[in-house]
Amino acid sequence: MSVYLDHNATSPLRVEAREAMARAYDSGGNPSSVHGPGRAARAIVETARTSVAKHFVTRAEDVVFTSGGTEANNLVIASARAAGAKRLIVSAIEHDAVRDAASASGLEVEILPVTGDGVADLIWLETRLSGWNREADGVPFVALMAANNETGVVQPVEAAGRLVREAQGLFHVDAVQMAGKLAFDFAGSLAHYAALSAHKAGGPQGVGALLLACDAPLNRQMHGGGQETGRRSGTENVAGIAGFAAALAAVEADEAARMAALRDALQSRLESVEGVRIWGAGADRLPNTLCLSATGWASEIQVIAMDLAGFAISAGSACSSGKVRKSRVLEAMGASVDESASAIRISLGWTSMQEDVDRFADAWIREYARIRPRLAAAV
């Protein structure tokens, strides 16, 4: 039986989410209809909206359900342009859903650098914003994810948000990886926008949300029936939304601490192996995420070897149509070409057990010991 250690890509559907979705499917009805079944569907959506809002410390009316984090991120970039941004500041560690949307926007894009531990350089940001030319560059816009999907490094979003607010700009936080792992206080983040995705927390794929501050401009991209109070047309994914809320509600109070203990035990074993480097170890990280490089052992070969041994891991982001490529995130952190090309990510979740971690460590260390002499000979 395969051991699943790729929760940052997708966390398997929680039982509570599956049950909530089944009830929603059985209910039937279009939430825009005024008859009984329609009102029942609307009640499911609005109950879920309230639950999601409470989980992320915001108002229910500030939750816009989407098809996932990618749509939410794209909607924000489009809104920034419509609000008068002419130049976008995007951190070097952003997910492709933000980076590519920014590149495709037709606006100038500047990269916010990170330290060797993968933390956004707020001194650089403060200096850049203090010299902002509003007439030439428009409304300042900054995108900084809450936690990186590859390294797990948690970002200083509140401090960044304060800088952006002082500059009278717009601040976007991709909070996709926070769901189900660490608390994310949207109000406390000072962000205008935050993107979420259900399947990172053990909810269904294909549903997410955009959180909006009361002063956040929004330029809708989906036109049609005027759902989501006119902010995102299209019949709501009632079952998916119900599963999203149920997954968040199912997160146990001690889940983060349990995952951190498992992650730290795994790290202790692997970092003692010669040739291994742990990324982001000097910074706050998501409790479930471990990113490492193994000198000379290509990422894709590691992933295949571990798959054959019965373990599902990844080589960084899983959002590249199955492609394995060098990590831009690690390169931004100062990784060498070899370190970037030999990086893997192990991400734990609600299904992970001590036995899984122990077995993986045994298998990985055994395989690396077997292959290292050949790697050395090739060099």
Q: How far apart are CA 179 and CA 7, in angstroms?
A: 11
Instruction: Please name which of 241, 344, 244 lies closest in space to residue 302, comparing C-alpha atoms.
Output: 344
The β-bridge relationship of strands 343-347 and 141-143 is unpaired
Q: How many residues does the chain have?
A: 379
In sequence order, what are the beta bridge partners of 285? Answer: 153
The helix-helix angle for 238-250 and 15-27 (nearest 10°) equals 150
Q: How far apart are CA 191 and CA 209, in angstroms?
A: 15
Instruction: Please name which of 65, 70, 374 lies closest in space to residue 244, comparing C-alpha atoms.
Output: 65
Other CB atoms within 10 Å distance of the CB of residue 103: 14
- Please give the C-alpha separations between residue 234 and each of 64, 66, 138, 176, 237, in angstroms, as whole numbers: 12, 9, 32, 22, 9
In sequence order, what are the beta bridge partners of 311? Answer: 3
Half-sphere exposure (Cβ direction) of 272: Cα atoms closer than 13 Å: 9
Provide the phi-psi class of 84: left if phi over 0, else alpha when psi is between -120 and 50, else beta: left
In three-state secondary structure terms, 92 is coil
Other CB atoms within 10 Å distance of the CB of residue 308: 10
- Give residue 364's identity as a one-letter amino acid code: W
User: Which positions are catalytic?
Assistant: 319
Residue 18 CA, distance from chain mean position: 22
Instruction: Please name which of 156, 152, 151, 89 lies closest in space to residue 331, comparing C-alpha atoms.
Output: 151
